Amino acid sequence: MSTEYIGKPISRVDGRAKVTGQAKYAAEFNVAAGITYGYVVSSPIAKGKITAVNTRQALSQKGVLQVFTHENVPDFAWFDRSYKDQDAPKDGSPFRPFQNNEIQFSLQPIALVVAETFELARYASTLIHFEYEIDENLQSGIELNLDKAKKPKSYKVPVTKPRGDAQKAFDKSAIQHQADYFHGSEHHNPMEMHATTVIYGDDDKLTIYDKTQSVLNSQSYVKSVFGLSTDEARVISPFVGGAFGAGLRPQYQLYLAVMAAMELKRSIKVVLTRQQMFSFGHRPATLQKITIGASADGKLQAVINNTFSETSQFEEYTENIVNWSGFLYNCQNVSFSHKIVPLDVYTPLDMRAPGGVTGVYAIECAIDETAYKAGIDPLEFRLINYAEKDLNDDLPFSSKELRECYRQGAEKFGWDQRKAEPRATRKGNYLIGSGMATGAWEAQQMPARAKAMFTIDGKLTVSSATADIGTGTYTSMTQIAAETLGLPLEDVQFKLGDSVMPMAPLQGGSWTAATIGSAVKLVCDDVKGKLFKMARKLPNSPFADADDEDVIFANGSISLKDKPDVYYTLTEVMKMSEANYIEADVTSLPNMLKQKKYSRYTHSAVFAEVAVDEDLGTVHVNRVVTAVAAGRIINTKMARSQVLGGVVWGISMALHEDSVMDNNIARFINHDLAEYHVPVNADIKDVDIIFVEEHDEVVNPLGVKGVGEIGIVGVAAAIANAVYHATGKRVRDLPIQLNKLM
């Protein structure tokens, strides 16, 4: 029996629990008798003030316990502005409902009805009467408010400093390209709506089941806002039905549920409706003004990116959008600026590959356009301008197999069979086009802790307070632990999603495999070391004079490397040592001295073929090939699934997703899944995913880079470039809809 698991296509260890309904999500914990239900009332206006509230009729309904509004917020909800969540912009705090009578965005929560049944709470919400003073001076639509753009006080990622003289170099360039690239707001729509279930204990302690990408972030929030101790607020989130960034920051249903539970001393469940999922957080609408200059032989001379993105009136949200323009290619003259436009909307929120998917879309379309102007194949143009080092930070790459991504992706796609001229390939009434783009995403490692216990029956339990938002954390961590200690997979259990567990950062940024995986390996190495030490001390031990490099842990045993028939099972070591269990608790830290000398990224090459109906302008994506260099792959099956999901979302970004704002009332008018378009099965055809072999000894002890974000980066650009190749028409405003092609 082999105990080598890393790199294998292991099926999800939590798969059975999910398909049989045993996996419980935040709204499914019915563990308290007499639980109450909260229903959120949303504002029908986007800006103004509440001048009167009448809750008498709602409160008169038998079974309605309370209606919370700004007029009766409990004193203990003291709106601590010192709280900083892990994903907040600097000096920012999440929005808190009922702080005053001011309305700052459409669908803002303005009341919470608490009743003995959900149906009653929902009905009673219709009986509340509000009066408003409407502010007609709305700032809505980024394109209509560019005159109000400003430089933020700080950036989440500092904007790259200019190098050379970009404008002068552009003016002298033989090939010149200038264009604006835009995409509107896009909303997270995970299958699981945001929900919080609070169990109010007899000891006044709270057990909080929350939809979150970080139980510790949610715990820190409720502790800070409500003055609770760590012991008084335990947060649990064992399963998350998709999040994609929506669960990074505590959302308002958490605040409302905890507030109501503490005031009423009752357990409560608050679940947002699908429509209310459009009331917080979104990918910000962004306008990028790209200028590129190149020599006649296709070498980049200048790159300029001036970007405008939306934020709310009460918080400054920024993303790393412009830096990609100076990082992807070799150019000595670059200049960037990024300004934000305050609008009457809720603060935008990180959404899969935040900043990267936006910034790469614009520069990759602009690079494609420049290649056509130079008369050079788009792939060849990228190879001419291949960046051997990160010029933004003047650092070598820890590893970069992008050339191999280009080669393998192009070969699989059949790029060399492509006719260079736009509109040159037809199939019946369809114009066929091929496009490609480069993708990149940061490869980061964060500090984390992990705890392990190995028991005399040969079972290993490892835990860390991380999350699994569907990415496969349970499985990949089980694989790492099992292989490190040489145990059968079925003898290993990984636990997560509980604030009593060891510290872990929020799950996001594609750093979980690197971060938690490194901690899991380290803690299992600690257990391994303790077992080896015990084995050496046994009477007449064959390992007495052995060193670490002389032994192998495999198949539940420890054996001599040069004498595999000389071994002890690990349970024998435990029994002979009279030890019932071994515990270890470690902290894993990035090797900053080593890592800071390198630029660390995942890379990809995306190739897409589209068919555009010449009469109707409808766009169909026939096939996508994406080649990814992401270091060591822990689980090829789940990694493929992650990249596949990213490709689907990239298709969605290119052709479907658009949160349509009515600027007259500052409301997203398609705030439901009937009108907010996403792909269905019929929209997704052939998707080929290639993992390019890549070895990296810098990024982390495991050599992994993460694949959660890279799958989506570059896909929208590849499709937009393919649409041009098919039709000869450039659409620089996503999504590409038929009216823009007709």
Active site residues: 709
Strands 448-455 and 268-271: unpaired
Distance linking the first and last C-alpha atoms of the chain: 61
| Type of residue found at 718 | A
- Looking at the chain, the number of H-run helices and the number of E-run strands are 17, 31
The enclosing H or E element of 696 equals none
Q: Comparing C-alpha atoms, which of 458, 490, 455, 456 is closest to residue 475?
A: 490
DSSP label of 283:
B
Question: Six-digit token pair at 145?
Answer: 């408010």
Question: Six-digit token pair at 54?
Answer: 């009448």
Sign of CA dihedral 64, 68, 74, 80: positive
What share of residues in the chain are helix, strand, coil (percent, to 5)?
Answer: 30, 25, 45
Strands 334-343 and 300-312: parallel
Say how far apart CA 519 and CA 318 lie, in whole Å: 30
Say how far apart CA 462 and CA 451 lie, in whole Å: 6
Nearest 5°: the CA angle 595, 598, 603 is 110
| Crossing angle between the packed helical segments 356-374 and 715-727, to the nearest 10 degrees | 30
Question: Six-digit token pair at 308?
Answer: 């405008």
Q: Comparing C-alpha atoms, which of 702, 638, 630, 633 is closest to residue 484?
A: 702
Say how far apart CA 290 and CA 362 lie, in whole Å: 7
CB 513 within 8 A of CB 6: no
| Type of residue found at 393 | D
Token pair 């008084």 is found at 232
